[in-house]
Amino acid sequence: MNQDRIVTTGWSLAVLVLFLAAWEWGPALLGIPDFVLPNFTAVCAEAVRIWGVEKLLWHAGITAAEVVIGFVLGSLLGALIGYALGISPRIEAVLSPYLLALQIAPKVAFAPLFVMWLGYTMYPKILVAVLIVFFPVLINVLSAMRTMDHDMINLARSFSATRLQVFRMIEYPTTLPALFSGLRIASTLAVIGVVVGELVGGNMGLGFLLVFFEGQGNTAGVFVVIGALTVIGIFAYYAVVLAERRVLHYLPSAERRVA
């Protein structure tokens, strides 16, 4: 198994090397000007400049904080409402039309409204992230609650289990895999939500830098910001993966099933 992992890692690194080589020498060979597609060396040099002159780390920290706060709040809200709808069909019948309307409405369209309400602060970006994160978590939890084995619930009730005990011992543990699947999706969507908010009305963060460099025609700077956003998204995603492994350690992993 370790040998297979080493081989897989080797192939992944080989793909990365080929990609970087194509990026470095491909534009010149194809006659693409630097202002359209700068090579990898130019992007790295611009990253060093931005790090010192444009305070790249500070802007990245602002965006990362907004992503974390929006992800946590949106996930909590989605999970709570998902469980509430799953437990009570009456609550689901009452709230479903409004939740559906909110889901259909494009969430990015709320960004200008939030900026007008709350100004050029962190709060509009966090609210956009909350809206975008909310629905994947809600849908995954609600779907898991709907497809649950009701024979287990009936068995627990036959032993005089209370409603809280049924939720704590059966419904909640059963829906955890679906919850974490939603959290994986939501972790990447949180980055999108924050960037959209910063693009619409931001004076700090990586979205602000993106607009700033676009106005200057600085293509290399735009690539640097995209790279920084990608790193934040990767960290957010793998933070959820690590949490999932710790919480759901009792489930067989894909490697164990193959073995």
Same domain? For 77 and 202 the reply is yes
Same domain? For 10 and 80 the reply is no
Same domain? For 209 and 113 the reply is yes
- H/E run at residue 256: helix 254-258
d(CA 33, CA 41): 14
d(CA 209, CA 224): 10
The enclosing domain of 159 has a CATH number of 1.10.3720.10
Domain range enclosing 164: 54-258
Same domain? For 172 and 203 the reply is yes
Those residues with Cβ within 8 angstroms of residue 31's Cβ, 6 or more apart along the chain or in another chain: none
Residue with tokens 């060979």: 29
Predicted local distance difference test score (pLDDT) of residue 165 = 82
Predicted local distance difference test score (pLDDT) of residue 258 = 35
Same domain? For 1 and 73 the reply is no
Same domain? For 48 and 129 the reply is no
Same domain? For 114 and 92 the reply is yes
Q: Which contacts (CB < 8 Å, 24+ apart) does range 76-82 have?
A: 77/130, 77/134, 78/133, 78/134, 78/135, 78/136, 78/137, 78/138, 78/141, 78/182, 78/186, 79/137, 79/138, 79/141, 79/179, 81/134, 81/138, 82/137, 82/138, 82/139, 82/140, 82/141, 82/142, 82/145
d(CA 24, CA 68): 34
Q: 121 by DSSP, 3-state: which? A: coil
Predicted local distance difference test score (pLDDT) of residue 221 = 92
List average pLDDT for each run of 10 residues in the chain, which is 259 residues long. Answer: 77 91 89 87 91 89 95 95 87 83 82 85 91 92 85 77 80 89 93 90 87 89 94 95 87 45
Give yes or no for a contact between 233 and 188, defined as CB atoms under 8 angstroms apart.
Answer: yes
Predicted local distance difference test score (pLDDT) of residue 185 = 93
d(CA 216, CA 194): 22
| 168 located within any domain | yes
* Token pair listed for 201: 């009305």
Predicted local distance difference test score (pLDDT) of residue 241 = 93
Predicted local distance difference test score (pLDDT) of residue 253 = 53
Same domain? For 45 and 146 the reply is no
Same domain? For 23 and 74 the reply is no
Identity of residue 162: T
Predicted local distance difference test score (pLDDT) of residue 153 = 75
| 218 located within any domain | yes
Identity of residue 27: P
Predicted local distance difference test score (pLDDT) of residue 105 = 82
Same domain? For 85 and 156 the reply is yes
Radius of gyration, CA atoms only, the chain = 23
Predicted local distance difference test score (pLDDT) of residue 116 = 86
Domain total of the chain: 2
| 33 located within any domain | no
Same domain? For 115 and 183 the reply is yes
Count of Cβ atoms closer than 10 Å to residue 147 Cβ: 12
Predicted local distance difference test score (pLDDT) of residue 252 = 61
| 66 located within any domain | yes
Say whether pTM exceeds 0.85: yes
* Token pair listed for 68: 């974390």
Same domain? For 192 and 210 the reply is yes
